[in-house]
Amino acid sequence: MRPVPSWPPMPGGAPIAQPPRRRASQVAIWWLMGVIGVLFGLMLVAYVMRMSLGDWRPLPSLPMLWLNTGVLAAACIVMQSSVWQAKRGELRRSRRDWTVAGVLALVFVIGQLWVWRDLVARHYGVAGNPANSFFFLLTGLHALHLVGGLVAWALLMPRAMSHGTRARRLSLTAQYWHFLLVLWLVLFAAMTNLTPEIAQRLCGVSQ
């Protein structure tokens, strides 16, 4: 273990210890989540502004989205369990939970594809209405980031490494997945609860 660097000693002779530095990988994850968060935040603002106009026709109820949300939440819970198992050195259980989490995440993506296919079959295609377009845009972009998370998940499956290194890398990947879950909950809440009337009030548009 490398010694913690310190500032020059005080006049009394006692050195002032520097706070431990954050790992570059942790900072990179924070930056990535920040950029993605800003992107989706701007898109949600555009979503509300566009909804406030008169030609917005809301999509029908989509019960499958509730099931998909539960699956994604379960994936994140099992993924965090894998991190805890790795920190305790129980690598076999960690790999098992990591595998289950990835399968659940894949089920979420498949469930989203099913929703898109169902909407198209019911004539709610991308070009049918601004509400349709925004739904496909928001859910599609979120799914794209999920696919990136699945790539990171897959890269950690066969790797042989110490439990400390594995726990650290699993933790970073799990943080990204937890962020995607929170992001999805925000999108889901917006798409299921916002109405043109609420959007008009938020935008100050007279009815």
| Residues facing residue 115 across a β-bridge | none
Instruction: Using the CB atoms, write b or e for 41-77: b if 16+ within 10 Å.
Output: eeebeebbebbbeeebeebeebeebeebbebbebbbe
The CATH classification of domain 25-203, taken from the options 3.30.390.50, 3.40.309.10, 1.10.340.70, 1.20.120.80 = 1.20.120.80
Q: What's the N-to-C CA distance of the chain in angstroms?
A: 66
Is the Cα dihedral 36, 144, 190, 196 positive or negative? Answer: positive
Identify the pLDDT of residue 202.
83
Domain ranges of the chain: 25-203
Percent of the chain with pLDDT over 90: 63
Backbone φ and ψ of 120, nearest 5°: -65, -40
Provide CB contacts within 8 A for 64, sequence distance 6+.
Answer: 111, 114, 115, 118
Taking Cα atoms as reference points, which of 35, 34, 31 lies closest to residue 22? 31
Q: Could you read off the pLDDT tens digit of each residue along the chain, which spans 207 residues? A: 455 554 455 555 554 544 455 688 899 999 999 999 999 999 999 999 999 888 889 999 999 999 999 999 999 999 999 999 988 888 889 999 999 999 999 999 999 999 999 999 999 988 889 999 999 999 999 999 999 999 999 988 866 666 677 888 999 999 999 999 999 999 999 999 988 888 888 887 765
pLDDT for 45: 95
User: Is the distance from CB of 52 to CB of 203 less than 8 angstroms?
Assistant: yes
Gyration radius from the chain CA atoms: 22
DSSP 7: P
Q: By three-state DSSP, how is residue 5 classified?
A: coil
Separation of CA 132 from chain center: 22
In degrees and rounded to multiples of 5, residue 201 shows phi and psi of -70, -40
The pLDDT of residue 19 is 46
For helices 91-121 and 130-155, angle between their N-to-C axes, nearest 10 degrees: 160
Distance CA 114, CA 110 (A): 6
Residues in the chain: 207
